[in-house]
Amino acid sequence: MRLHKLLLGATIVATGGVAAAQDPPPTTQPSRIDRLEQRVDQLENTVKSRDAEIKSRDAEIDRLNRELGNRGPGSQSQPASQPEVGLGDIDKTTQEMLKDIQSKEAPPAILRFPANFNPNFAVISDFAGSASSDHSNPGLNRFDLREVELDLRAAVDPRADAVVILPIDRDVENPLFFTDTTPVNGAVTTSISIEEAYVNLHDFGVPNLIVQLGRFHVHFGRWNLLHLHAWPTVDNAFVVQSFLGPESLVDSGVSFDYLLPPQWVGNQAVELTAQITSGEGESDDPVINNDALIGPPGLVLHALWNHDIGQDWNFEWGGSYLYGHHNDDSKQYANVFGTDLTVMRRDPTGRFNNQFFQSEVMYGNVDQGRDNPQHSWGAFMVAQQQINRDWYAGVRLDWTENAVNEHQEVWGVSPYVTWYWSEFLMFRLEYQHKDGDVQRADTLYFQCDFVFGAHPPHPYWSVKG
């Protein structure tokens, strides 16, 4: 043993340096080897002490286990040092604790700190440009910052959230049904508007019911819910432009979203939406474009069924109905019907091989004059393939009739590729061939979106399919 200690001490001395070996401490002090031996002895004693303590604890545990095992159901023996605690004593103690807790003053429903008074704030900027064979349309062959969107969100109460969306737009008129004879104004118009501003009541005593009060995108189909920067393509789907608006149909009112209890519908996910709106729309919307409330309010209904097919596939199937008035005339009615289908496949291997399909069909019965109803159809389909983590490729197919002129139609094919540097920076390139009863055009689009701030996630079916 002493030889082992000596070898250990010699090794440490050797690594300590040549100088230490040449200059030993005075003989009145313990040598370095002696100190090392003492340290090793201390460590060995510590280990032995802990081993003894562990063995003592194990012995005590074995003794207690033997005592518990020797006691039968009717045994009355009890160790003197450990009096038996009955269930009645436990219940009594629990009741006393509950009374003590209830006697104390309840904390406030919500705690607010200075930072809580600032909403989550994001700025989303959309830069886009185009190079087109159509040089007569002033909305093409130009680059500009199309929109800067201010997005504010906050919890105003434990049961309510608020959202405010304020876009600043730079627009040049670009009609969907553009011909050589279409009068357009090529001037750039800069404006700020209230795209959305609503309070979301999500917990007020009715299970599965959410109520929105304010201004919002009407729930007609799926695409109309998206903001410009969340479209999967640079430009808007043709049928949405024809029936709802150049960007989207937005209105003010109240919205009720109710998720049916699964036991009512065979354990399926079914959501019903009803929106009562002012029926006002905006001046450049093709169908709902009243300046003020005309006659009865507008009405939007939507039903959605979401279902998983195995572990990889999910689909959503919805139906929509829109009722309102047209052209500030209480005798000109607008009725639009729609169905939407979204299908997604998630790669089970996690290798970013995901697919996304979305389609919508619309039919409109819109009065273009009191005795001139227009019966028009339209549809689009988007198919997208994820190539890797950051790259996506897809194509959009469009065909629609003019919602206010059933004798005019337009169709288009738009392949595109999208590159996400991150969730906050995106680049997209799109080619589009447009034809029909319009000015024929082959256009190359470019888009760059950049975001800073606390931007909320996009809907799972909108962008990164």
CA 187 vs CA 178, 184, 360: distances in Å: 16, 9, 33
Co-location of 230 and 323 in the same domain:
yes
Strands 405-422 vs 196-201: parallel, antiparallel or unpaired: unpaired
Task: Let me know: does 387 contact 393? Beta carbons within 8 Å.
Answer: yes
Co-location of 236 and 369 in the same domain:
yes
**Does 103 reside within a domain?**
no
Co-location of 329 and 238 in the same domain:
yes
Residues 148-167: pLDDT tens digits? 999 999 999 889 999 999 99
**Does 81 reside within a domain?**
no
**What residue type is assigned to position 218 of the chain?**
V
**Does 56 reside within a domain?**
no
CATH code for the domain in which residue 340 is found: 2.40.160.10
Q: Report the C-alpha gap between 314 and 342 in whole angstroms.
A: 8
Eight-class DSSP state of 431: E
Looking at residue 243, its pLDDT comes to 97
**Does 183 reside within a domain?**
yes
| Segment among 91-95, 261-265, 352-356, 422-426 with least mean pLDDT | 91-95
Residues 6+ apart with CB under 8 A from 27: none
Return the number of other C-beta atoms located less than 10 Å from residue 57's C-beta: 10
Task: Let me know: does 376 contact 399? Beta carbons within 8 Å.
Answer: no
Co-location of 8 and 142 in the same domain:
no
Q: Report the C-alpha gap between 228 and 463 in whole angstroms.
A: 12
Task: Let me know: does 366 contact 382? Beta carbons within 8 Å.
Answer: no
**Does 259 reside within a domain?**
yes
Length of the chain: 465
**Does 206 reside within a domain?**
yes
Q: Which domain holds residue 417?
A: 120-453
Best CA proximity match to 33, nearest among 8, 63, 66, 65? 8
**Does 99 reside within a domain?**
no
Residues 44-88: pLDDT tens digits? 777 677 777 777 777 878 777 777 666 554 444 444 444 444 555
Eight-class DSSP state of 70: H
Co-location of 14 and 147 in the same domain:
no
Mean pLDDT of the chain: 84
Co-location of 328 and 421 in the same domain:
yes
**What residue type is assigned to position 385 of the chain?**
Q
Q: What is the distance between the terminal CA atoms of the chain, rounded to a whole angstrom?
A: 70
Final residue of a structural domain among 47, 63, 85: 47
pLDDT at 343 over 70: yes
Co-location of 292 and 400 in the same domain:
yes
2-15 and 32-70 helices cross at what angle (nearest 10)? 120
Tell me if residue 333 falls in helix, strand or coil. Answer: strand
Tokens of 143: 């680059």
Number of domains in the chain: 2
Co-location of 312 and 190 in the same domain:
yes
| Segment among 30-39, 66-75, 252-261, 379-388 with least mean pLDDT | 66-75
Co-location of 42 and 125 in the same domain:
no
pLDDT at 7 over 80: no
**Does 192 reside within a domain?**
yes
Task: Let me know: does 441 contact 448? Beta carbons within 8 Å.
Answer: no
